[in-house]
């Protein structure tokens, strides 16, 4: 394909305007009757040592605000200071808390807890910062002292994980 100097200058002007190869291909066909394939149009750009201009990238979207810590999400003031001492275990039994390697669906973090009376439950922290317990035995409610111990141990475990 042989273009005269005026046609080459016109193609350069189209490139300067920011037209894409497909648009240049259509203009060559409409204005000069040159029916080129997309690949032939690319070769033409190479022959003329032209590169289509990349449109300016839009500015990156603003980063979303960091998720609020669970306490703040629940409307509680952030915890500062030391946690209260764990109550002494009854009969040598302790509350045992573990964190799941594979998080429960719909949760930020989840795990299991065994209370001093041997009953077990699954726990989870949802996206709104609510803590939930699902006991293995229907209707089970752990003793208040176990709940305090559970929350203290859970806080320590999550702190170890950097959460």
Nearest to 90 by CA among 120, 119, 115, 123: 115
The gap from C-alpha 139 to its chain's centroid, in whole angstroms, comes to: 36
Predicted pLDDT of residue 67: 54
Q: pTM of the predicted model, to two decimals?
A: 0.44
Q: At a CB cut-off of 8 Å and minimum separation 6, what does 67 contact?
A: 73, 127
Q: At a CB cut-off of 8 Å and minimum separation 6, what does 115 contact?
A: 95, 121, 142, 143, 146, 150
Predicted pLDDT of residue 36: 82
pLDDT tens, N- to C-terminus, the chain (163 residues): 677 888 888 888 888 888 888 888 888 888 888 888 888 888 888 888 877 766 555 667 776 655 555 544 444 445 455 544 544 444 456 889 999 888 888 888 999 999 998 899 999 988 888 888 888 888 888 888 888 898 889 888 888 888 7
Predicted pLDDT of residue 122: 92
Predicted pLDDT of residue 90: 47
DSSP per position, 93-134: ---EEEE-SSPPTTEEEEEEEE-TTS-EEEEEEETTS-EEEE
């Amino acid at each position: 394909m042989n273009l005269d100097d005026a046609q080459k200058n016109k193609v350069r002007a189209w490139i300067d305007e920011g037209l894409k190869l497909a648009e240049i291909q259509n203009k060559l066909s409409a204005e000069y009757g040159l029916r080129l394939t997309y690949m032939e149009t690319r070769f033409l750009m190479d022959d003329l040592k032209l590169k289509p201009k990349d449109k300016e990238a839009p500015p990156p979207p603003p980063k979303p605000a960091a998720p609020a810590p669970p306490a703040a999400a629940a409307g509680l003031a952030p915890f500062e200071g030391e946690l209260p001492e764990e109550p002494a275990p009854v009969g040598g039994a302790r509350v045992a808390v573990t964190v799941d390697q594979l998080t429960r669906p719909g949760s930020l973090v989840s795990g299991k807890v065994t209370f001093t009376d041997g009953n077990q439950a699954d726990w989870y922290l949802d996206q709104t910062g609510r803590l939930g317990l699902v006991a293995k035995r229907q209707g089970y409610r752990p003793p208040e002292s176990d709940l305090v111990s559970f929350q203290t141990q859970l806080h320590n475990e999550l702190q170890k994980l950097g959460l």
